[in-house]
Amino acid sequence: MDYKYYLALTSQLPFCSVPLRIDTYSNCQFSCSYCFSKARGGAPLTKSNQEIAPAQLEKRLSQVSQGRISGAVDEFLARRIPVQLGGMNDPFSPWEKEGRKTLETLKILRDYQYPTLISTKNTMLAEEPYLEVLATGNFLVRISITAGYSESRAALEKGVPSWEDRLRAAGALSSMGIPVSFRFQPIIFGEEDAVTGMIRLASTSGVRHISAEYLKLPIEKTSRQITYLSRSFPHMIDTYRKLNARQVGRELVLPSPIKAPGLFQLREEAISQKMVFGFAENEFLHLNSFHSCCNAADKFLKDANFFSSNILGILKRQMAADEIRFDLPDSSWVPTFSVFSHLNSRSRGSANYAARHSPRERWVKLLQDKWNSETERGGPSNFWGISDLGKVDSDGNKTFSVDRNIIRHDAMLHDIS
């Protein structure tokens, strides 16, 4: 059965610079117990699967290249904002050995030289015929790995290649001139020293970028994941609660002050190994010294643009300012078609307002609502080192400041504009 929703915008649009995803399969055969997709309801725990129809993607890219735009997704494609291949499900799970839908998709993206980030835990793409396609396209490969001691990696990841195999795959890809990133997600709290060693090994395999994010614990009692995690890590939930982890959606998330020391430690190690480092935690994204969220895609992909008409973009443009204000210039790019059908209920904002105004006005109002929210979720106060000044500007929007004592790495700001 063809996968109808293979190409879509994600609800991370209010802060993500690459919010466009492609999934070649509607499900995943790997069994990572922390899987964010399953924890957040993105994919059911079922063996059923739908597959992309690559011809539909080719038709769409062809129409967009001819200026035939029929919706917000097409506008993102026309602007050449990168797609994330494997945004919800691994494009190289065992189905790919038979279906080859990912291979067909890669060939189409290669033919259009479309900027693409690939997310996978598998090593299949480091073999032919994938290598030749990747080497002649416009790709950044992100290989994900649980980061911590070997015992933790074995407990959390099931049915995936070993850490050593992924290192070898990174080496094979790098030797062909294909940029490779290691996505350390999740990091096991308390095992940062082991992660430092992993960064050093990654550098010997030609890895050019590291992104890092701590384990988010799924907490639904009916979840198979939490049952397995409780059995494998019996004290993990207690540890998180003692550290005042807060519930965000269906997950427990460690507080920013708890995560910051480990993240800065890993950042310093990556830089010492001549690699680019990306904070992948949402509340640290504004600290990255590049334009593309955590993935640094602007460092590695050609002829690509990035979505910055969102909360993160507004913040990053003002990180050197004494006072941060809500500022979305009229010249900033926003789709002329509505994006609201792509957002979930938590991200969508006021439905009544959305029904009465133009797409741009609706988008600006959504951002203002988040900016001025009394809660931290989604607004500037959610970001590490950003504080509410307790006053508003002439338009009634809150103003914020950057705490220079917390954000102590001025070098991070050198190439942000």
CA 17 remoteness from chain centre = 9
User: 99: domain CATH number?
Assistant: 3.80.30.30
391 in the same domain as 252: no
The reported pLDDT for the residue numbered 415 is 38
> Region 265-290: what's the mean pLDDT?
95
29 within domain boundaries? yes
126 within domain boundaries? yes
Total of domains in the chain: 2
- Angstrom CA distances, 291 to 53, 267, 403, 417, stand at 32, 17, 21, 9
Range of the domain at 172: 7-299
113 in the same domain as 215: yes
394 in the same domain as 287: no
412 within domain boundaries? no
Domain boundary among 299, 334, 362: 299
103 in the same domain as 139: yes
Q: Are 380 and 311 in contact (CB under 8 A)?
A: yes
414 within domain boundaries? no
pLDDT digits (tens, 9 = 90+) for 168-199: 999 999 999 999 999 999 999 999 999 999 99
DSSP 244-313: T-EEETTEEE--HHHHHHHHHHHHHHHHHTT-EEEE-SGGGGGG-SSSSTTT-GGGT-SS-----SSHHH
Residue 31 in this model has a pLDDT that exceeds 60: no
The reported pLDDT for the residue numbered 146 is 93
343 in the same domain as 290: no
195 within domain boundaries? yes
346 within domain boundaries? yes
The reported pLDDT for the residue numbered 412 is 44
pLDDT digits (tens, 9 = 90+) for 63-102: 999 999 999 999 999 999 999 999 888 899 888 988 899 9
